[in-house]
């Protein structure tokens, strides 16, 4: 007979112990009436955690940071970062805590757990809507095959958060390969402590890019590996029509995972200039700018590595620049391979022919501005000879292109695994979060089911695959919510 002994969560304090210079041990604010709103049971199972325990009093207190497991030393992490191009030497977790590392080496982290020494003017809190938003979109991204932090749980705190209106407060518990960011390296570099920078780089290599340890120049190889991972990541975003919205260097990971789902959104109507974030008035983080912005962020990362890469700064800059300059090609390769999958083109189709077809399609999308997700899904039917769904998006303007493409024998089966039917569409996300804020979790749960199984058509769920009604107000997203 098994006993009802709870399976205590084991956490290590590896980062807290190894990097006292890069964090402040801290305690979460006490939640007055914590209540579990969402628990990711499949992620819990993957981590070997018992959902019964997590749903219990101690588990819920764990998710607000008010129960600290044995061995854990929660810390607010320090980092710097370029925000919209301007450098802030001291950002750090203003409303977040690293609880510690899970047995598989990943971080368990809380967001919305109260003010820390890095809070500056902020209240350290988060509202139910934005935390559920991160849960929904990060889990959708995971289901879409995109490297991302994961959402483990959202707990309502029972306390009120004041934004434009009073809102119910919440804490998000997330799991990530790590929370090392370009901004972490910028902070370490700014201390002028060369030994700290080297330890940080060695830690990043061991955790995320272990092959670099055996390279002739491990720190140059670390850089190359992060460049490759981020080029692949941004290509995936672009193929899905995902707009991160706040690609500051403190939101650019060393692991290559997508992090921080504040103002992000999926593009509805195709338009390279799409911006949703209320504060991105210059369009710095517009859809089409994401690849060059990532390269810019990686240049900031390269600057931090100069002292590690070569004793001669000029030689280090030369070596790092050479690697940085490989970003556009690496990105283009990943994007083209992904676009070939979206078009169902087999390996036999020569590159030149595929590239011509893709370029012509880009011109067509620019001229017709269809619903991005819907258009690519409709191509699946066209592969089998039925142009009607494509015509719903672009009329008969694609007929010439469709015949050329169909002559290459696109594979409908592989297309249906590359072009999602369901993405977290802005109007559906808003609807689900408004209901949750008012106390009804039903729409959130329903939407989560379809977006976490995005390629499988579900009878009765047609509404989830439809674009926003044409009279819907333009979608606007916010940072620091």
List binding-site positions for ATP. Answer: 92, 94-95, 111, 123-124, 174, 181, 260
Burial class (CB in 10 A: 0-12, 13-18, 19+), 443: middle
Residues 350-409 that bind ligand AMP (CB under 6 A): none
**Cβ atoms within 10 Å of 377's Cβ, excluding its own:** 25
By CB under 6 A, residue 92 contacts ligand AMP: yes
Instruction: Please identify which of the residues 232, 250, 310, 371 carries the catalytic annotation.
Output: 250
User: Using CA atoms, how far apart are residues 235 and 241, in angstroms rounded to an integer?
Assistant: 10
Stretch of 22-30, 244-252, 270-278, 340-348 lying at the interface with ligand AMP (CB under 6 A): 244-252
Residue 337 to residues 246, 255, 344, Cα–Cα distance (Å): 26, 22, 11
CA distance 134 to 429: 11
Q: Which is nearer to ligand AMP, 93 or 139 (CB)?
A: 93
Query: Is 250 annotated as catalytic?
Result: yes
Shortest Å distance, C-beta 216 to Mg ion:
34
Q: Return d(Cα 278, Cα 459) in angstroms, integer.
A: 36
> 248, 253, 258, 295: which one contacts ligand AMP (CB under 6 A)?
248
How many amino acids of this chain bind ligand AMP (CB under 6 A)? 19
Report, in Å, the least distance between residue 58 CB and ligand AMP. 27
Of 461, 425, 466, 427, the closest CA to residue 446 belongs to: 461
Helices (H), 348-411: 351-368, 372-383, 388-394, 399-406
Asked if 233 and 258 touch (Cβ cutoff 8 Å), the reply is: yes
Phi, psi of 370 (to 5 degrees): -80, 170
Which of the stretches 44-52, 61-69, 114-122, 189-197 binds ligand AMP when contact is defined by CB under 6 A? 114-122
> 3-state class of 123 per DSSP?
coil
Q: Which is nearer to ligand AMP, 220 or 264 (CB)?
A: 264
Per CB under 6 A, 303 contacts ligand AMP: no
- How far is it, in rounded angstroms, from Cα 260 to Cα 138? 9
23 interacts with, out of Mg ion, ligand AMP, none, CB within 5 to 8 A per kind: none
Q: Which residue has the tokens 């030497």?
A: 89
Which among Mg ion, ligand AMP, none contacts residue 464 (Cβ within 5 to 8 A by kind)? none
Give the binding-site size for Mg ion (rule: CB under 5 A).
Answer: 2
Q: Which two tokens stand for residue 453?
A: 């199984």
**In whole angstroms, how close is the CB of 294 to Mg ion at the nearest point?**
16
Which of Mg ion, ligand AMP, none does residue 95 bind (CB under 5 to 8 Å by kind)? ligand AMP
Stretch that binds ligand AMP, among 24-32, 88-96, 225-233, 315-323 (CB under 6 A): 88-96
Sequence-distant (≥ 6) Cβ neighbours of residue 68 within 8 angstroms: 27, 74, 99
For residues 183 and 344, which CB has a smaller minimum distance to ligand AMP in the complex?
Answer: 183
Residues 115-134 that bind ligand AMP (CB under 6 A): 118-119, 122-125
**Quick one: 368 exposed, middle or buried, by C-beta within 10 A (0-12, 13-18, 19+)?**
middle
Residue 453 CB partners (closer than 8 Å, separation 6+)? 143, 422
Identified binder of Mg ion from the candidate list 138, 157, 251, 437, rule CB under 5 A: 251
Facing residues of 174 across strands?
109, 151
SS3 of 173, please? strand
Structure tokens at 474: 């333009």
Using CB under 6 A as the binding rule, whether residue 93 contacts ligand AMP is answered as yes
What's the rounded Cα separation, in Å, for the pair 214 and 227?
Answer: 18
Q: Does 249 bind Mg ion (CB under 5 A)?
A: no
Q: Which tokens in the block code for residue 440?
A: 């009804």
At its nearest, how many Å lie between Mg ion and the CB of residue 148? Answer: 14
Q: Which of 91, 253, 97 is nearest to 179 (CA)?
A: 253
Closer of 162 and 329 to ligand AMP (Cβ): 162
Residues 141-200 that bind Mg ion (CB under 5 A): none
The distance of closest approach from Cβ of residue 17 to ligand AMP in the complex, given in angstroms and rounded to an integer, is 22
Q: Which is nearer to Mg ion, 145 or 480 (CB)?
A: 480
CB of 138 to Mg ion, least distance (A): 13
Q: Which is nearer to ligand AMP, 10 or 123 (CB)?
A: 123
Least Å from the CB of residue 93 to ligand AMP: 5
Residue 333 contacts residue 237 (beta carbons within 8 Å): no
Among 93, 260, 268, 371, binds Mg ion (CB under 5 A): 260
- DSSP, collapsed to helix, strand or coil, labels residue 476 as coil
Residue numbers in the known binding site for Mg(2+) are: 251, 260
Residue ranges at the known binding site = 92, 94-95, 111, 123-124, 174, 181, 251, 260
- The mark string for 250-279 relative to ligand AMP (x by CB under 6 A, - otherwise) is -x--------x-x-----------------
135 contacts 66 by C-beta, under 8 angstroms: no
Q: How far is the CB of 251 from ligand AMP (least distance, A)?
A: 5
Which are the catalytic amino acids? 250
Which residues are near ligand AMP by CB under 6 A?
Answer: 91-96, 118-119, 122-125, 246, 248, 251, 260, 262, 479-480
Which residues are near Mg ion by CB under 5 A?
Answer: 251, 260
């Amino acid at each position: 007979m098994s006993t009802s002994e709870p399976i205590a969560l084991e956490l290590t304090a590896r980062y807290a112990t190894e990097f006292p210079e890069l964090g402040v041990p801290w305690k979460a604010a006490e939640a007055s009436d914590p209540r579990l709103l969402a628990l990711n049971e499949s992620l819990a199972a993957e981590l070997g955690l018992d959902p019964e325990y997590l749903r219990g009093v101690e588990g819920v207190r764990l998710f607000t940071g008010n129960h600290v497991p044995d061995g854990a030393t929660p810390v607010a992490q320090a980092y710097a970062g370029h925000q919209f191009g301007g450098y802030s030497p001291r950002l750090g977790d203003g409303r977040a805590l690293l609880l510690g590392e899970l047995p598989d080496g990943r971080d368990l982290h809380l967001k919305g757990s109260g003010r820390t020494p890095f809070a500056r003017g902020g209240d350290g809190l988060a509202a139910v809507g934005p935390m559920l938003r991160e849960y929904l979109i990060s889990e959708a991204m995971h289901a879409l095959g995109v490297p991302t932090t994961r959402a483990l749980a959202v707990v309502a705190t029972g306390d009120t958060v004041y934004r434009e209106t009073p809102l119910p407060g919440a804490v998000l518990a997330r799991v990530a390969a790590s929370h090392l960011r370009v901004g972490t390296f910028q902070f370490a570099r700014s201390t002028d402590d060369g030994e700290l920078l080297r330890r940080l780089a060695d830690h990043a290599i061991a955790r995320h890019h272990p092959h670099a340890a055996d390279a002739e120049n491990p720190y140059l190889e670390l850089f190359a590996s992060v460049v490759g991972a981020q080029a692949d990541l941004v290509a995936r975003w672009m193929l899905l029509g995902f707009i991160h919205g706040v690609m500051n260097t403190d939101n650019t990971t060393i692991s290559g995972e997508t992090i921080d789902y504040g103002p992000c959104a999926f593009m509805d109507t195709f338009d390279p200039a799409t911006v949703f974030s209320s504060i991105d008035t210059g369009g710095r983080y517009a859809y089409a700018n994401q690849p060059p912005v990532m390269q810019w962020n990686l240049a900031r990362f390269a600057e931090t590595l100069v002292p590690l890469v070569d004793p001669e700064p000029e030689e280090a800059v030369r070596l790092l620049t050479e690697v940085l300059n490989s970003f556009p090609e690496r990105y283009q390769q990943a994007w083209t391979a992904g676009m070939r999958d979206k078009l169902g083109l087999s390996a036999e189709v020569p590159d030149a022919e595929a590239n011509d077809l893709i370029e012509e399609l880009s011109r067509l999308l620019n001229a017709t501005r269809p619903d991005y997700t819907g258009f690519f899904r409709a191509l699946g039917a066209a592969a089998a000879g039925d142009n009607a769904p494509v015509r719903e998006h672009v009329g008969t303007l694609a007929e010439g292109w469709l015949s050329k493409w169909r002559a290459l024998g696109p594979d409908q089966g592989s297309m249906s695994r590359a072009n999602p039917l369901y993405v977290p569409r802005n109007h559906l996300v808003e609807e689900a979060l408004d209901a949750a804020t008012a106390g009804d979790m039903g729409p959130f749960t329903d939407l989560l089911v379809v977006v976490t199984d995005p390629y499988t058509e579900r009878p009765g769920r047609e509404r989830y695959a439809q674009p926003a009604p044409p009279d819907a107000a333009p979608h606007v997203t916010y940072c620091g919510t």
